[in-house]
Amino acid sequence: MRPQAFLSRLWRDEHSRAVIVQIVAVVLLFAAAAYLVRNAIVNLEAIGKGFSFAYLWEPASYDINQHLIEYSSRSTHFRAMLVGILNTLLVAVSGIVLATVLGFLLGVLRLSKNLLANKLAQVYIDFVRNVPVLLHILFVYGIIINTFPTTREAMSLGNMAFLTNRGFFVPKPFFEPIFMVVLGILAAGVVFAIWFRRYASKIQKETGKQYPVFWILLGAILGVPLVCFFLLGAPITFEVPEFAGFNFTGGMVVRPEFTALWLALSLYTAAFIAEIVRAGILAVNYGQTEASLSLGINRGKTLDLIVIPQALRVIVPPLTSQYLNLTKNSSLAIAVGYMDIVATIGGISLNQTGREMECMTIVLILYLLLSLFISVLMNLYNKRIRMVER
Per-residue confidence (pLDDT) for residue 51, from 0 to 100:
72
Query: pLDDT tens-digit profile of 365-382?
Result: 999 999 999 999 998 888
User: What pLDDT shows up at residue 4?
Assistant: 64
**Distances in Å between the alpha carbon of 10 and those of 24, 28, 334?**
14, 20, 56
Per-residue pLDDT, 189: 87
pLDDT of residue 366: 92
Position 26 pLDDT exceeds 70:
yes
> Options 3.40.1010.10, 1.10.3720.10, 1.10.1240.10, 3.40.50.300; which CATH number does 77-131+254-385 get?
1.10.3720.10
Distance CA 183, CA 202 (A): 29
Domain ranges of the chain: 3-45, 77-131+254-385
Does residue 49 surpass a pLDDT of 80?
Answer: no
The alpha helices in 157-285, defined as continuous H runs, are 179-207, 213-218, 224-231, 256-282
Q: What is the pLDDT of residues 309-324, one digit of tens each?
A: 888 888 888 999 999 9
Q: How far is CA 308 from the centre of its chain?
A: 22
Q: Indicate the SS3 state at residue 157.
A: strand
Q: Give 198 or 326, the one with higher predicted confidence.
A: 326
The pLDDT tens digits of the residues spanning 123-170 come to 999 999 999 999 999 999 999 988 888 888 888 887 888 888 888 888
Residue 82 confidence (pLDDT): 92
* pLDDT recorded at residue 220: 84
Of the candidates 336, 315, 166, the residue with the CA atom closest to the CA atom of residue 265: 336
The crossing angle, in degrees rounded to 10, of helices 3-12 and 14-46 is 100
Q: According to the model, what pLDDT value does residue 303 have? A: 77
Digit-coded pLDDT (tens) for 209-253: 777 888 888 888 888 888 888 888 888 888 888 877 777 877 788
Higher-pLDDT residue of 267, 197: 267
Q: pLDDT at position 40, please?
A: 75
pLDDT at 3 over 70: no
